[in-house]
Amino acid sequence: MIGDWNVPFASPHSPLSKLLKICAELGDLLLTCCLLGAILYQLLAAMSALFGLRDRVLSKPVKSPSQPPPRNKKSKPTLKKLSKQRGFRWVWILVGFTGVALLSATAGAILAMTMASTPLMQRKFSPAEAAVFSKSDLSTVNNLQLPELTRPVNILVLGAKVLTSDVADDSPDQERFGYHALVNSFDGLTDTMLLLRFNPEAQKVTLLSIPRDTRVDIPGYGTDKINSANALGGPALSAKSVSGLLGGVGVDRYVTINVQGVQALVDALGGVTVHVPKDMKYIDESQHLYVNLKAGKQHLNGDQALQLLRFRNDELGDIGRVQRQQW
């Protein structure tokens, strides 16, 4: 499980929107090329048949009464047979292009219609929890069935790290592993909290990081660290806590992702190229966390990217980690 979200694909400038537009345009282009190619092939075939008939009429020998009958000889491959073979080859090429065009156009249409439907949501909210997030219209649908933002939208990004010790004091997994192992869950502390603001008019994205140890008033639980809001009441309580911290700023949508999801996402992208600011070395046997990175620009896989994001054993502590997470 990689992510828990209720975010619509609402930005026309997102990589997904651009990909869908390219798929649709590529499908249209290939279909047009195939149609033009088919018309051109028919014209060439007609011209070839016409000129071939004329050549056979002009080159037909005139029989003479005194001329002996021709001897039977083995016929050699004629131009007509070669032209047929070439014709069949062009037919297969056109069929192949047509298939690719139809597949591309169909895939783009299916993806566009799927992503433009109801927002993706994995978590079920109570009416009170759902009321935390905005219900007003965020976007309109364009000609390609892709939503486009109509107003600024605030999205809360929650990065969760759940250990066996967070799930239960007598967790059987902790006894089995012998250390605080990672659990593939979203119901834990959110050590990473980001508030993203998408502004379609300015075509600008603004990011605000909220340190995990920020003490706030968590509705119904009193004053506590803001990263505990998700463990106490899920993303809805986290959104209310963030809104209260920022003076009533509304949260329209949220995304939750755990550390396993980050690692899988980076690996799916083929890694990321980043500049590691300094040598990073840290060992935490209680979590089996091993960080060993060298300074400099390098290409990191999912596990190495997690080492960079989780490292905080320096003079800046969690603030330094927050800065690296913004990269």
Question: What CATH number is associated with residue 250?
Answer: 3.40.630.190
What proportion of the chain, given as a percentage, has pLDDT over 90?
Answer: 27
Please say if the pLDDT value at position 125 is more than 70: yes
- The pLDDT of residue 81 is 52
Residue 6 lies in a domain: no
- For residues 197 and 115, the model is more confident at 197
Residue 261 lies in a domain: yes
- The pLDDT of residue 27 is 60
- The pLDDT of residue 193 is 93
Residue 168 lies in a domain: yes
Q: How confident is the model at residue 232 (pLDDT cuts 50, 70, 90)?
A: very high
Tell me the backbone φ, ψ of residue 78, rounded to 5 degrees.
Answer: -95, 165
Residue 204 lies in a domain: yes
Quick one: tokens of 158? 């929650």
Q: Report, as an integer, the average pLDDT of 79-87.
A: 52
Please say if the pLDDT value at position 79 is more than 60: no
Please say if the pLDDT value at position 170 is more than 60: no
- The pLDDT of residue 233 is 93
- The pLDDT of residue 32 is 67
Number of separate domains in the chain: 1
Q: Could you tell me the residue range of the domain that residue 301 belongs to?
A: 152-325
pTM above 0.85, yes or no: no
Q: Report, as an integer, the average pLDDT of 145-156.
A: 85
- For residues 49 and 304, the model is more confident at 304
Residue 101 lies in a domain: no
Please say if the pLDDT value at position 5 is more than 90: no
Q: Report, as an integer, the average pLDDT of 209-232.
A: 93
Residue 14 lies in a domain: no
- The pLDDT of residue 287 is 81
Q: Which of 12-21, 138-147, 207-216 has the lowest mean pLDDT?
A: 12-21
